[in-house]
Amino acid sequence: MATATHRRAGTEGRTSLTPALAFGLVGGLAAVALAIRVLQPARVGWVQTFLIVFGSLLISALPFVAVGAVAAAAVGVFAPVGALERLATLPRPLQLPAAGLAGIAFPICECGSVPVARRLMLRGLTPSAAITFMLAAPIVNPVVVASTFVAYRGRGPLPVMVLGRFGLGLVVAMAVGWVLGGRPTHELLR
């Protein structure tokens, strides 16, 4: 006999959004907005500075978070389940450099590398390769390499800085992927 409550796999311990909770959240946000409007804390110097810095960080980070979400959704939609299992059959010393260098194809930052790595792991990539991708993609993507080139132009040995950041970041990502990748899948990238 079927029970009245059906649970999806992996949702144990999660709280669902009930109407009362939603009403409470909306009411709380309305109260905060009203308090801000009445008290006008933006006239205080440190609050004004905080709001400017917070707003600028939020505005500058949103495009990168959006790109990461779109990339993760694209992997989820276009990569069939098990598509990356062929890579999982390769020896780990070949998987990790390939996963790290895949960051060149996915120009995402730290904000977007976590959902993309999780989605890649759900599609069959091994945890060690997913962790390597998650850590290497923000370092080896072309935007970061170009910004490193621009930042260090005229300040010393340019190729050493650009290649050093790229190479050292890739080596560290592979080492962390090797060490943490041996853990069970359910402990990683939840």
pLDDT of 2 over the 70 cut: no
Among 73-77, 127-131, 152-156, 178-182, top mean pLDDT goes to 127-131
Reference 131, options 167, 164, 172; nearest CA is: 172
- Specify the pTM: 0.68
pLDDT-derived band at 143, boundaries 50, 70, 90: confident
Quick one: tokens of 9? 């796999």
**So what's the pLDDT on residue 69?**
85
**So what's the pLDDT on residue 54?**
86
What mean pLDDT, rounded, does the chain reach?
81
Domain boundaries, the chain: 66-187
pLDDT-derived band at 64, boundaries 50, 70, 90: confident
CB 153 within 8 A of CB 120: no
Mean pLDDT over residues 79-99, rounded?
A: 83
Distance, in Å, from the CA atom of 119 to the CA atom of 133, rounded to the nearest integer, reads: 11
Residues near 43 by Cβ (< 8 Å), separated by ≥ 6?
A: none
Distance, in Å, from the CA atom of 127 to the CA atom of 114, rounded to the nearest integer, reads: 12
Mean pLDDT over residues 99-118, rounded?
A: 86
pLDDT of 12 over the 60 cut: no
Secondary structure percentages of the chain, helix, strand, coil, to 5: 75, 0, 25
Per-residue pLDDT tens over the stretch 30-62? 888 888 777 776 677 777 788 888 888 888 888
Render 61-95 in DSSP notation, one character per residue. Answer: HHHHHHHHHHHHHHHHHHS-TTTTHHHHTS-HHHH
